[in-house]
Amino acid sequence: MILVGDIGATKTLLEVGTLRQGRWRPAFGQRYVDADHPDFDSVLRTFLLEWEAHHGSPVTIARACFGVAGPVFDNRVQMTNLPWLVDGDAISAAFGIPHVRISNDFAAAASGIEMLQAADLVTLQPGEPVVAASRVVIGAGTGLGVAYMIWAEGGYRAIAGEGGHTGFAPSTPEQLELWRDLYSRQGRVVAEDVVSGPGLARICEFLGRREGKSAALEKTLPVDDAAAAITRAALESGDPLCSRALDLFVSCYGAVAGDHALAVMARGGVYITGGIAPKILRRLLGGGFLAAFNAKGTYSGTVGKIPVLVVTNERLGLLGAALLAAFGTRV
């Protein structure tokens, strides 16, 4: 059996299964809220006990791969937005798993693109795809993850990094005003400060301050999940302030995604992943995302030929982790 995991700052997905004929076939899977556990070992221990309770005997795991939100060094990750250290060698020793690989979560997500079905994708821009051209996988959730996919030696290789922590480059007067507001409060502004769940909350607060509604916002927005409340208010209730915040968020998201697409000339496609995109799909289809994505001056026409797709399958990271566990870096 293969054990795979997608470990983010908010939730962890775990599955055991087999990889047969190029398809991941899960035998058991669970979803956990990270805040309910002190560390990843606690999550994994709970998962294995739940397997045993469900199946009546322990599971024998030959290989494991975990996609973890943060940079990987020496097969371990000190997570960026959660105080967890996920150490592959320590997990191998503690749980008796012969081979444990730790991957960046977006490297795993990028690797999983090959296993998606047509039903897992919604096209924002069909573009003119080029075979074996570079790809970008980018997704907003608790943070902002980015990975590139480069064709080499007959297959794609995922290039992980911390693209969400590159500087946020405003591309409109309103985005510049947002940047100035955030900079005055915190100093350097990175893409993740704007394009993420907490970023949506910051955008709404910025607009509220500008319109003199900050006091009312503080009373109405929940502390634990302000982004979800803003999204619901915008999409379900048509709240004017929240709608403007979501529109500005979508514009910033498109601009950042387009910058990364331009950086590697991603004629193989840009894949929008993460927890937020499926929830705001109607807004992404509304045109604001693509308008910002394609607004690249001299290269606007070229960027307009890049396919842009939204991934609606939340198990993308698990699919990629299964491939990495079985085959290594090339997919």
| Residue 294 DSSP SS3 | helix
What is the pLDDT at residue 215?
54
Identify the H or E element spanning 248: helix 240-263
Overall domain count for the chain: 2
Q: Are residues 80 and 184 in the same domain?
A: no
DSSP 3-state assignment of 199?
A: helix
- Contacts (Cβ under 8 Å, ≥6 apart) of 292: 171, 172, 250, 251, 252, 253, 254, 255, 258
Q: What is the pLDDT of residues 8-54, one digit of tens each?
A: 999 999 999 999 988 999 999 999 999 999 999 999 999 999 999 99
On whether the CB atoms of residues 92 and 32 are closer than 8 A, the answer is no
My answer on whether 301 and 228 are in the same domain is: yes
Question: Taking 50 as the threshold, does the pLDDT of residue 330 lie above it?
Answer: no
Q: In terms of domains, do 154 and 233 share one?
A: yes
pLDDT of residue 219: 55
In this structure, what CATH number is given to the domain that contains residue 153? 3.40.367.20
CA distances from residue 48 to 28, 44, 95, 100 in whole angstroms, order as listed: 10, 6, 10, 15
Residue 321 belongs to a domain with what CATH number?
3.30.420.40
Do 323 and 306 lie in one domain? The reply is no
Q: Give the length of the chain.
A: 331
| Percentage of the chain modeled with pLDDT above 70 | 95
- DSSP reduced 3-state for 17: strand
What's the Cα-to-Cα distance from 208 to each of 38, 190, 236, rounded to whole Å? 36, 21, 20
- The pLDDT value given to residue 261: 98
Q: What value does the mean pLDDT take over residues 112-125?
A: 96
CA gap 176, 166 in Å, rounded: 16
Q: Identify whether residues 308 and 320 lie together within a single domain.
A: no
| pLDDT at residue 320 in the model | 96
Strand ranges inside the chain, DSSP E: 2-7, 11-20, 23-33, 63-68, 72-73, 76-78, 85-87, 99-104, 121-125, 135-140, 144-152, 155-160, 269-273, 308-311
Residue 259 domain boundaries: 118-312
Tokens of 76: 């371990």
If asked whether residues 92 and 122 sit together in one domain, one would say no
Q: What is the pLDDT of residues 258-275, one digit of tens each?
A: 999 999 999 999 999 999
pLDDT at 109: 96
Average pLDDT over residues 123-140: 98
User: For residue 28, what pLDDT is reported?
Assistant: 97
Residue 80 has pLDDT above 90, yes or no: no
Are residues 6 and 134 located together in one domain of the fold?
no
Q: What does the pLDDT look like over 161-202, one tens digit per residue? A: 999 999 999 999 999 999 999 999 999 999 999 999 999 999
Residues 141 and 279 in one domain: yes
Same-domain check for residues 189 and 286: yes
Rounded Cα–Cα distance for residues 92 and 29 (Å)? 20
Within a 10 A sphere around the Cβ of 31, how many other Cβ atoms?
Answer: 11
Mean pLDDT of the chain: 94
The reported pLDDT for the residue numbered 202 is 97
Amino acid identity for residue 68 in this structure: V
Same domain, 169 and 290: yes
Examine the domain organization and report whether 97 and 63 are in the same domain. Answer: yes
DSSP string, 250-283: HHHHHHHHHHHHHHTT-TTEEEEETTTGGGGHHH
Residues 222 and 234 in one domain: yes
